[in-house]
C-alpha cells in the first residue's frame, strides 16, 4: 500500500495534469461513499490542489486492498490445512469479529475524518497526506481482519 501511495505521489509530482484528469472521474465514483461525499468537498475548500491526489490515492488504495484481500482469502480457502481450532461458543467469536470488521469498515467508507468547524483547516489535521495515512492504516486493518476471519472460519471446529 505504501509503495502504491509513493508511486501515485510521484505521478502527482511529475504529471500533475494527468492525475487531475484521472482524479475527476474518481471523485465522482468516490462521492457515492458517505465518507468521501463529505471529505472531498471539504478538502476542495481547504486544500484545492490536493483533491485529485486524494481521490486517486483513495480509489487505488481501496481497489488494491480489495484485490489483495480477495486473492488472499481465496488462497486460504483453497489450500489444505491440517490443524483445527476448537471453539466453545461460536456466537461470541462471531460477535467479536463482526464488531472489529464493522469498526474499520465504518472508518474507511462511512465516517469522514476532518472535524468540521473545529480548526480542521490547519495543514496538520486535514490535508490529503494525513487523510491518506489513516486510510492506509484502516484499510490494512480491515484487510487483515477479513483475511483472519476467513482463516478462522476455515479452521474452526465446534467442540462436541
Q: Supply the pLDDT for residue 37.
A: 87
Q: Which domain holds residue 41?
A: 2-158
Give the DSSP letter of residue 130. Answer: H
Q: Which three cell numbers stand for residue 18?
A: 494527468
Task: State the maximum Cα–Cα separation within the chain, in Å, rounded to a whole number.
Answer: 63
Which pLDDT value is given to residue 119? Answer: 47
Question: What are the b/e assignments for 72-101, b being 16+ CB within 10 Å?
Answer: bbeebeeeeeeeeeebeeeeebeeebeebb
Domain count, the chain: 1
CB 30 within 8 A of CB 55: yes
Cα radius of gyration rounded to whole Å, the chain: 19
Q: What is the pLDDT along the chain (160 residues), one digit of tens a residue?
A: 778 888 888 887 788 888 888 888 888 898 898 888 888 888 888 778 888 888 888 898 999 999 999 999 999 889 887 778 777 877 888 888 889 999 989 888 888 876 554 444 555 556 777 788 888 888 889 999 998 888 888 887 777 6
Contacts (Cβ under 8 Å, ≥6 apart) of 106: none
pLDDT at 115 (0 to 100): 54
Amino acid at each position: 500500500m505504501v509503495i502504491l501511495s509513493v508511486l501515485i505521489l510521484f505521478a502527482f509530482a511529475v504529471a500533475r495534469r494527468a492525475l487531475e484528469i484521472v482524479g475527476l472521474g474518481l471523485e465522482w465514483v468516490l462521492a457515492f461513499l458517505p465518507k468521501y461525499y463529505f471529505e472531498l468537498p471539504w478538502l476542495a475548500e481547504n486544500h484545492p490542489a490536493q483533491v485529485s491526489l486524494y481521490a486517486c490515492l483513495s480509489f487505488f488504495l481501496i481497489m488494491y486492498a480489495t484485490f489483495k484481500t480477495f486473492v488472499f482469502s481465496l488462497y486460504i480457502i483453497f489450500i489444505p490445512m491440517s490443524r483445527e481450532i476448537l471453539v466453545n461458543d461460536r456466537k461470541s467469536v462471531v460477535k467479536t469479529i463482526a464488531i472489529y470488521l464493522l469498526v474499520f469498515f465504518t472508518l474507511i467508507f462511512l465516517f469522514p475524518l476532518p472535524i468540521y468547524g473545529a480548526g480542521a483547516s490547519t495543514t496538520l489535521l486535514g490535508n490529503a497526506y494525513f487523510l491518506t495515512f489513516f486510510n492506509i492504516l484502516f484499510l490494512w486493518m480491515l484487510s487483515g481482519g477479513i483475511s483472519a476471519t476467513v482463516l478462522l472460519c476455515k479452521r474452526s471446529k465446534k467442540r462436541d
